[in-house]
Amino acid sequence: MTEANGDKQNDATLTVTGRLHSQVYAVLIGLALWMVLWVWSFVDGGETDYILFIVTGFILIVVGLQLVLMRVRRADQTADADTSNGTAPSFYQWARGEFEAERGRLRAGEAALLILLPIAAAAIGMMAFGIEFQIVEHAAGM
């Protein structure tokens, strides 16, 4: 019975927020830049360079939007309880709390994972394609 009461007290102290932690944005930006790095592994001279420049521009625009979103708060949203005193919670505290999404609440750590998974898959996939491209290009040059 003590464990159940302790769990209820811990649940009562968990933070509920609709904002992502700044480290989630940092990881998103890092993964986007990782993808740009591997996109440029396809440089072979010619038309490809022009297309890679355009793709890089699109990705950098997305990174810029990430930075803007990290700093902007909706006008109708009140400050979170933990940030009202001027200090942001640590990532560990944020991840243990709940994230208020459009369709309901879920654990904040789970929300971060769901947000990071697509860009991580794209960055890792681009890395795999880049490595494969380099291997094939060097094998054909022999």
Give the other-Cβ count within 10 Å of 127's Cβ: 16
Give the residue carrying structure tokens 């960055």. 123
In whole angstroms, give the CA distance from residue 14 to residue 1.
20
Distance, in Å, from the CA atom of 32 to the CA atom of 41, rounded to the nearest integer, reads 15
Sequence ranges of the domains in the chain: 22-73+91-140
Q: What is the residue-level pLDDT of the chain in tens, covering all 142 positions?
A: 444 444 444 555 678 888 889 899 999 999 999 999 998 888 876 777 888 889 899 999 988 998 888 788 655 455 454 455 567 788 999 999 999 888 889 999 999 999 999 999 999 999 999 999 989 988 887 6
pTM, two decimals, is: 0.76
Determine which helix (DSSP H) or strand (DSSP E) holds 43, and give its type and residue range. Answer: none
